[in-house]
Copies of this chain bind each other. A is one copy, B any other.
Amino acid sequence: MSIYVIGHKIPDSDSICGAIALAHLKNEIGEKAIPARLGELSPETQFIIDRFGFEAPLLKMNYAGEKVYIVDHTEKTQAPDDIDEATIVGIVDHHKLGDLTSSTPLECWIRPVGCSNTIIKMMYDFYKVDIPKDIAGIMMCAILSDTVLFKSPTTTTADRRAVEDLALIAGIPDYEALAMEMFKVKSAVEGTPVRELVLRDFKDFNMNGHKVGIGQLEVIDISVFDSIKSELMADITNLKAEGNRHTLILLLTDIMKEGSELILVSDDEKLIKSAFNLEDNSSNWLDGVLSRKKQIVPPLQGAFNS
């Protein structure tokens, strides 16, 4: 019976490239594995897999009765809806430990690094399996995306070292140029429906019993959003209501200015603002904030638990 290797809902590049890279490794060590995905590819991810000649992994939403290897999350809200009826055989992740549980012993490769693909690189090293050139390319791009070319505070020495190794294998010494090309694709928001933008990189969290949705858009110049900010605000208000969420936050991240503007609707706006020391009437610019995982989720979790 094959194992399905899957990232999270609304997959990002780490989820898709990680599923492909990990499924290849599993097959190499004699465990039949199929990469799959829980949603459409973002323009950035499409750019990466086109660049290295891959097809999108199988789109598959239901896993009851199947074996699954989870990539890039441990949250039930981000996993397949029927995950409780599947057997989780393993998890690779770099986030806080969420509420996924398993019914049998499993393997978890979880590390506080910038990207799941950095950990998958460690797994290739552990099993002494050579990484093919094209797989090295997509793994490298996933790490450059998740760490925002090493600017994100989630970046570790392990991420930098992994990118350097993978760049050598992929034969792409100038990986910074490739990263900038990738970020340009990501920054092209004009003409995209607002809902598609909001959901492009969106995750739901369970915070002390409250459903909190957090989207993030990383661009080279945040001014691209100036003309559509009221549309974005209207859309997150709708999306909050549709999903019975307590709070919905959209982070507009400027990777060159290295900070994020936070737009939000919440049943308790005061609580959310207090989590980031924002005054009632201040602008919502958070200087130096690039990482949802490290700079947004923990203070929010703290605010909800207090």
Contact = CB atoms under 8 A, between A and B. Distances in A.
Contacts of A102: 96-97
A161 B77 CA distance: 39
Contact of A107 (B88, B103, B112): B112
A289 B302 CA distance: 44
Interface string A98-113: 1111111111111110
A187 interface: no
A105 B101 contact: no
A294 interface: yes
Interface size class of A (residues with CB under 8 A): 20 to 34
A293 interface: yes
A109 B123 CA distance: 12
A91 interface: yes
A101 B93 CA distance: 13
Contacts of A107: 110-112
Interface in A88-143: 88, 91, 94-112, 126
A301 interface: yes
A105 B301 contact: no
A293 B105 contact: yes
Interface in A138-185: 154
Interface of A: 84, 88, 91, 94-112, 126, 154, 293-294, 298, 301-302, 305
Given A103-B301, A107-B112, 20 more contacts: A84-B305, A91-B108, A91-B110, A95-B105, A96-B102, A96-B103, A96-B104, A96-B105, A97-B102, A98-B101, A99-B99, A99-B101, A104-B112, A105-B154, A106-B112, A107-B111, A108-B108, A108-B109, A109-B109, A110-B110
The 9 closest A-B pairs by CB, nearest first: A108-B110, A105-B112, A97-B102, A108-B108, A96-B102, A103-B301, A107-B111, A97-B101, A104-B298
